[in-house]
Amino acid sequence: MRNLELSISGMTCDHCASKAEQSLNQLPGVEATVSYENQQANITSNGQTSIDAMLRAVEDKGYGASVVDSDQSVRPEKTSTKLHIAIIGTGSGAFAAAIKAAENDAQVTMIERQDAIGGCCVNVGCVPSKIMIRAAELAQQQRSNPFDGLADHEPGIDRAALLKQQISLVEDLRSAKYESILENNPSISLIKGQARFSGSDTLIISKDDGSEKVIQADRIMIASGAAPAIPPVPGLTETPYWTSTEALFAEHIPGHLIVIGSSVVAVEIAQAYRRLGAEVTMLARNKLLFNEDAILGDRLAQSFEHEGIKVYNQTQASRVDFNDDAFTVETDHGTLKGDKLLIATGRSPNTVELGLQAIGVDTLDNGAIVVDDHMRTSIEHIYAAGDCSNQPQFVYVAAAAGTRAAVNMTGGEAALDLSSMPAVIFTDPQVATVGLSEERAQALNIETDSRTLELENVPRALVNFDTDGFIKLVMEASSGRLIGVQILASSAGEIIQTAVLAIHNRMTVDQLAAQLFPYLTMVEGMKLCAQTFRRDVSQLSCCAG
């Protein structure tokens, strides 16, 4: 008789352990006990069944299996005769890749170092932030509306109740969109732990209990995401500052929130807290949205100041202290005091602990993995997608990249075209862009012409009594082709997809102007702005074609 142990990956409950145990015990001469808690099978065998057959019996149920030697080291795992793909991370890009790879008959092992699966978007990013932003928007609409016959009133805000509802939806979406996929797809398994490369096809996973697991894979995709970047401000690390995670899940609204940062996360959370009742001060090293067309940041700053958000441009913190439950922030424009401090200065790729340099994966100075339009890294069979790469840090880019990477890892050919990629900032008014700004186009030696239409020329904006914003179209002068759009409007995020399709299909501004747009919609502003290249739209009647 022979005793041996198998390490089993991918089990998510006791029922999984029962399935694996039953499969093993059906083999001749095998008696097995499988523990979900230990992720392990203890086996007694009379030798009738080979170890490879035992491994296959577990793998046929959708789990990974490897033999644990008597010295407790783990032989590299070979999950099956199928193509084996290992994916580091469990966010949107990772799951998109896993699902597509499984559809293409690969066996997938996912590796996650966090307790919760699902990555940034569902857990601490897009979903909770948009819930908070929407609640803040409704609060503001009660406080201030443009209609003479509707009385304004100060809303009653129960932060604890808002947070409870937010957490509930996050948990529901994580269960429906991530956990259930793992439970129901036998071709995808999960190992919890921190992965690092020990070779170009081998990963060592360090678990919380101190043990390690080694797996080998035919293809590996890195989708490890990113984390908030913390600037080297003296004194900062000794204080209980917030990142976006703490800000989104805080149980109380501070009296005064100081925000260091000027880009997407900073502006979204700053406005939400202001509308939920906090005093808000923003410190921008340059100015708001300095990477975008200058008019966008300038006009958003005006909207913020109208709401009572203080914006200090060209301002940096030189020191941060925390005493008596208050923050003191020294700046080159004076000293600020506040109850809470939010650091929102960008996100850094989670690649430091992966051991990429040792195997020769090329990265940028900030740790971002360099990929081509097929998501290939500098090593042929290693791919990367999402915020850990040099791609734009948007969840829909990560998901699209993950799907295409899976196609390529399983023998297909798929590229990711980012030339008409939309971007939306969910402030009020919203900021939405696609394609090239005038400045960027001119840097590429493209001669441009542009028009900017104020929303007071858009009938729907007029009847909404909400004319704060504009639509700007940028065309290539030689061809008349639309190459860029920038929008500041309450529904810019909904309007921008029309611009995406126009640019993707290489439409000219005249072709766009000739399209039929429904009257009294905000997207009609796209048509009106296109018409301004040839005529004065203020002299047209309603619905003028």
11 carries an active-site annotation: yes
The per-residue pLDDT for range 487-521, each reduced to its tens digit, is 999 999 999 999 999 999 999 999 999 999 999 99
pLDDT value at residue 70: 39
CB-based burial label for 262 (10 Å; 0-12, 13-18, 19+):
buried
Phi, psi of 9 (to 5 degrees): -110, 150
pLDDT value at residue 296: 98
The per-residue pLDDT for range 9-40, each reduced to its tens digit, is 878 778 888 889 999 999 988 999 999 878 89
- Is pLDDT larger for residue 63 or for residue 255? 255
pLDDT value at residue 80: 56
- The mean per-residue pLDDT over the stretch 124-150 comes to 97
Q: Mean pLDDT, the chain, as a whole number?
A: 94
Please enumerate in sequence order all residues whose Cβ is within 8 A of that of 373, keeping only pairs 6 or more positions apart, or say none: 415, 416, 417
- The mean per-residue pLDDT over the stretch 449-464 comes to 97
The packing angle between helices 264-275 and 126-143, to 10°, is 40
The H or E element containing residue 439 is helix 438-443
pLDDT above 90: residue 441: yes
Confidence of residue 47 (pLDDT cuts 50, 70, 90): low
The per-residue pLDDT for range 184-226, each reduced to its tens digit, is 999 999 999 999 999 999 999 999 999 999 999 999 999 999 9
**Nearest-angstrom CA–CA distance, 537 and 459:** 12
The per-residue pLDDT for range 338-394, each reduced to its tens digit, is 999 999 999 999 999 999 999 999 999 999 999 999 999 999 999 999 999 999 999
Tokens at 452, concatenated: 């900017």
- Among residues 23, 83, 11, which one has the least CA distance to residue 58? 23
Tokens at 318, concatenated: 């030189």
pLDDT value at residue 280: 98
**Nearest-angstrom CA–CA distance, 288 and 300:** 8
Q: Which residues pair with 213 in a beta bridge?
A: 205
Please state whether the peptide bond connecting residue 128 to the residue before it is cis, i.e. omega within 30 degrees of 0: no
**Nearest-angstrom CA–CA distance, 410 and 104:** 7
Q: Domains of the chain (ranges plus CATH)?
A: 2-68 (3.30.70.100), 77-225+347-418 (3.50.50.60), 236-345 (3.50.50.60), 423-539 (3.30.390.30)
3-state class (DSSP) for residue 42 = strand
**Nearest-angstrom CA–CA distance, 88 and 91:** 9
pLDDT value at residue 286: 96
Tell me how far CA of residue 330 lies from CA of 72, 233, 266, in angstroms. Answer: 55, 10, 19
Q: How many Å is the Cα radius of gyration of the chain? A: 27
pLDDT above 70: residue 228: yes
3-state class (DSSP) for residue 426 = coil
Please enumerate in sequence order all residues whose Cβ is within 8 A of that of 434, keeping only pairs 6 or more positions apart, or say none: 420, 421, 422, 423, 484, 485, 496, 499, 500, 503
Q: Which residues pair with 376 in a beta bridge?
A: 383
- Among residues 97, 8, 99, which one has the least CA distance to residue 61? 8
Catalytic choice (54, 110, 120, 121) = 121
Residue 260: CA count within 13 A, CB half-sphere: 29
543 carries an active-site annotation: yes
Catalytic choice (36, 126, 312, 396) = 126
- Structural contact between residues 376 and 383, judged by C-beta atoms closer than 8 angstroms: yes
Catalytic choice (11, 110, 388, 522) = 11
- Please give the distance of CA 253 from its chain centroid, rounded to a whole number: 25
Catalytic choice (63, 178, 273, 383) = 63
- Please give the distance of CA 142 from its chain centroid, rounded to a whole number: 31
pLDDT value at residue 543: 67
Catalytic choice (16, 54, 282, 409) = 16
**Nearest-angstrom CA–CA distance, 41 and 61:** 14
% of the chain exceeding 90 in pLDDT: 86
pTM: 0.85
Q: What is the DSSP letter of 64?
A: E
**Nearest-angstrom CA–CA distance, 74 and 516:** 65
529 carries an active-site annotation: no
120 carries an active-site annotation: no
388 carries an active-site annotation: no
